[in-house]
């Protein structure tokens, strides 16, 4: 299943395809796997160690936001769009509840401080958060 990010323009002939997709059980125990995958991808793009740690923290906070209302037995989805000096991450979970994340929460504040272009929504049975992190070297 491919999560479609509504911030990416749609072309009727081509469907946007992420560079990397992951599907895991929607349980907090699997967030560590996603954080490690994220760190590996950022390292391949020559992110600094500080940038990698910021990205890992952002992914952890995004997962906490979507897992908060995840359906038991559902899936946690992650997609990564890689470009020179930046990573666009979209994290979603199967959720019957359409509630948006609490924008006054500590997790939301951390996520928006570490990233740019944060978008969140619910689409069908998915609740998702998408954001971009740019390498400080590329800035």
Q: Which domain holds residue 39?
A: 25-134
Q: Helix (H, G, I), strand (E, B), or coil: what is residue 124?
A: coil
12 in any annotated domain: no
117 in any annotated domain: yes
pLDDT digits (tens, 9 = 90+) for 72-119: 999 999 999 999 889 999 999 999 876 777 788 899 999 999 999 999
Closest CA to 129 of 137, 138, 139, 115: 115
**Angle at CA 53, nearest 5°, toward 81 and 137?**
65
| DSSP code string of 30-88 | GHHHHHHHHHHHHHHTT--HHHHHHHHHHHHHHHHHHHTTPPTT-EEEEEEEEETTEEE
Which of residues 51 and 137 earns the better pLDDT score? 51
* Whether residue 24 has pLDDT greater than 60: yes
Q: Tell me the average pLDDT across 28-41.
A: 96
pLDDT band at 121 (very low <50, low <70, confident <90, very high): confident
115 in any annotated domain: yes
113 in any annotated domain: yes
Which residue is it, tokens 């509840």? 97
* Whether residue 125 has pLDDT greater than 60: yes
pLDDT of the residue at 8: 45
122 in any annotated domain: yes
Q: Tell me the average pLDDT across 8-32.
A: 77
Closest CA to 131 of 114, 76, 109: 114
pLDDT of the residue at 7: 44
Going 119 to 129 to 117 to 2, the CA torsion angle's sign is: negative
pLDDT of the residue at 16: 66
78 in any annotated domain: yes
Which of residues 2 and 113 earns the better pLDDT score? 113
119 in any annotated domain: yes
Total count of domains within the chain: 1
Residue 138: other Cβ atoms inside 10 A: 13
Q: Tell me the average pLDDT across 49-77.
A: 94
- CATH number of domain containing 90: 3.30.565.10
How does 119-130 read in b/e, with b if 16+ C-beta sit within 10 Å?
ebbbeeebbbbb
20 in any annotated domain: no
């Amino acid at each position: 299943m491919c999560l479609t990010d509504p911030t990416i323009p749609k072309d009727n002939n081509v469907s946007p395809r992420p560079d990397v997709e992951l599907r895991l059980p929607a349980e907090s125990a699997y967030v560590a796997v996603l954080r490690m995958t994220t760190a590996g991808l950022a390292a391949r793009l020559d992110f600094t160690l500080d940038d990698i740690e910021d990205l890992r923290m952002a992914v952890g906070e995004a997962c906490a936001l979507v897992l908060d209302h995840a359906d038991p037995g559902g899936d946690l989805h992650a997609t990564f769009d890689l470009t020179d000096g930046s990573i666009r991450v979209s994290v979603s979970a199967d959720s019957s509840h359409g509630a948006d994340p609490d924008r006054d929460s500590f997790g939301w504040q951390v996520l928006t401080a570490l990233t740019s272009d944060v978008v969140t929504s619910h689409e069908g049975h998915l609740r998702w958060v998408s954001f971009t992190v740019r390498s400080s070297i590329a800035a």
